[in-house]
Chains A and B, each alone.
Chain A
């Protein structure tokens, strides 16, 4: 059974693609700046609705960058603030009503985007050969290393397999789904920087699926969220297009 959440607040959702912001290190300070906000796809908003970039920096603080109004957006406002070496940085954009009667009501908001400022570019997912019998792959979650993708040790070119368009399109979304379930089960615990779970949580958060009102302890709600995350992942990585391209390549080879 699919669970659906009713949006009683009538709040609109700001997709992450609709706005851009910049984070820049300047010594021990961080500069955050809203670069653009395309609100054309949102329902009509009052011109005087306030646009705010909310920046959360762990327990150290919360900074609001007031970026003007819908009809008079200011994208040149920078806010500098001090950051530590291992800072978690969350940002989201909200539009709130400025009319007296409903002052402060949130009319639209985005998901939170998490940035780990010292995060590197190395792959998080460990890949290893394993005796899997008739299985091609399997995802194991280990306590210290987190998710480990095991590939049947009888497959010689495992690297070629996992980087192929077919594997990326057909298997990676399912891998992401399994990892997402692990992250959601441990969501609060993975708030602490420095662990592999924390880094995976960032990746899940960055997919932009609204989770604020979800009960992560509820299996059905979690499954629904995992489906949404899998879909967001497939969309971001253009899974269908990649598979179609692979098929076209095969046909031309024939």
Chain B
């Protein structure tokens, strides 16, 4: 993977049309099967496969592809060209063509390696399947951005969930991204962070990674009895049973 941040000129923003999404998916599948990088070639600017969203060169490189920093960057970019996006009636959070194109645009930067060969993974990491509730959260870029945009301004609550580079599997991110009742409730995110984030060391608490899957399961059960959407994070944490005592301190 290319970790060097080069001085790349900002570009226009495009989106894949239906044919483009199909073509990109095909190239992802090929790369996955052959253990090669994704060949986006001339796909990014093809008039056959793409359409312009913002014609101005507004899409610069993010400082890094750490989830939080990347989301901040995209939030700024989308803010700068809000009128053009709205004018084209594009719904940023749900647009499969836009997020698939963005993934293709940064494909070389987002492809990690496994056994010294490019690791592409499943197509849903690249092609945003916005209509599938099982796969939409798997997209490398759209999924963290959705969590970020639903909780803009909530820094204490996103430290853990949006940590690490977008291309690297993060158990904490997976747990939250796959459960809408968590990432649409800022106080639930804060509760998650109270339990598993060490604010002093600014990293996850030791051992949390192995047990974090219990959070969603128990939260789901508590939601049947408690109005968690109307409670503060500290109150939510107090409801968690004895097995969570270690993490409450």
The chain A residue sitting closest to B136, CB to CB, is A59
Q: Within the assembled complex, what's the spacing in Å between the Cα atoms of A163 and B228?
A: 46
**Which B residues lie within 8 Å of A50 (CB)?**
227, 230
Assess whether B133 is in contact with A212, with CB atoms less than 8 Å apart.
no
Say yes or no for B106: interface residue by CB 8 A criterion: no
Say yes or no for B148: interface residue by CB 8 A criterion: no
Assess whether A52 is in contact with B184, with CB atoms less than 8 Å apart.
no
The chain A residue sitting closest to B133, CB to CB, is A191
Also in contact, A104 and B228, with CB within 8 A (given A60-B94, A61-B184, A62-B180): yes
**Which A residues lie within 8 Å of B231 (CB)?**
103-104
Assess whether B230 is in contact with A96, with CB atoms less than 8 Å apart.
yes
Q: Within the assembled complex, what's the spacing in Å between the Cα atoms of A59 and B178?
A: 9
Assess whether B224 is in contact with A104, with CB atoms less than 8 Å apart.
no
**Which A residues lie within 8 Å of B180 (CB)?**
56, 58-59, 62
Assess whether A59 is in contact with B137, with CB atoms less than 8 Å apart.
yes
Assess whether A94 is in contact with B131, with CB atoms less than 8 Å apart.
no
Query: B91, B226, B229: which contacts A105 (Cβ < 8 A)?
Result: B226
**Which A residues lie within 8 Å of B227 (CB)?**
50, 52, 94, 96, 104-106
Say yes or no for A136: interface residue by CB 8 A criterion: no
Assess whether B235 is in contact with A58, with CB atoms less than 8 Å apart.
no
The chain B residue sitting closest to A195, CB to CB, is B131
**Which B residues lie within 8 Å of A103 (CB)?**
231, 235
Assess whether A52 is in contact with B146, with CB atoms less than 8 Å apart.
no
Interface contact tally, CB-CB below 8 A: 62
Question: Digit string of A48-79 for contact with B (CB within 8 Å is 1, else 0)?
Answer: 00101010101111101010000000000000
* Interface positions of A from 98 to 117, Cβ below 8 Å from B: 103-106
Q: Which of A54, A56, A58 has the most CB of B within 10 A?
A: A58
Assess whether B235 is in contact with A64, with CB atoms less than 8 Å apart.
no
Q: Nearest Cβ in chain A — how far from B224, in angstroms?
A: 6
Say yes or no for B246: interface residue by CB 8 A criterion: no
**Which B residues lie within 8 Å of A64 (CB)?**
229-230
Q: Within the assembled complex, what's the spacing in Å between the Cα atoms of A62 and B231?
A: 14
Say yes or no for B9: interface residue by CB 8 A criterion: no
Q: Nearest Cβ in chain B — how far from A13, in angstroms?
A: 13
The chain B residue sitting closest to A87, CB to CB, is B94
Say yes or no for B225: interface residue by CB 8 A criterion: yes
Assess whether A213 is in contact with B225, with CB atoms less than 8 Å apart.
no
Query: B132, B133, B150, B235: which contacts A61 (Cβ < 8 A)?
Result: B150
Question: Digit string of B69-90 for contact with A (CB within 8 Å is 1, else 0)?
Answer: 0000000000000000000000
The chain A residue sitting closest to B135, CB to CB, is A192
Q: Within the assembled complex, what's the spacing in Å between the Cα atoms of A54 and B181?
A: 12
The chain B residue sitting closest to A62, CB to CB, is B184
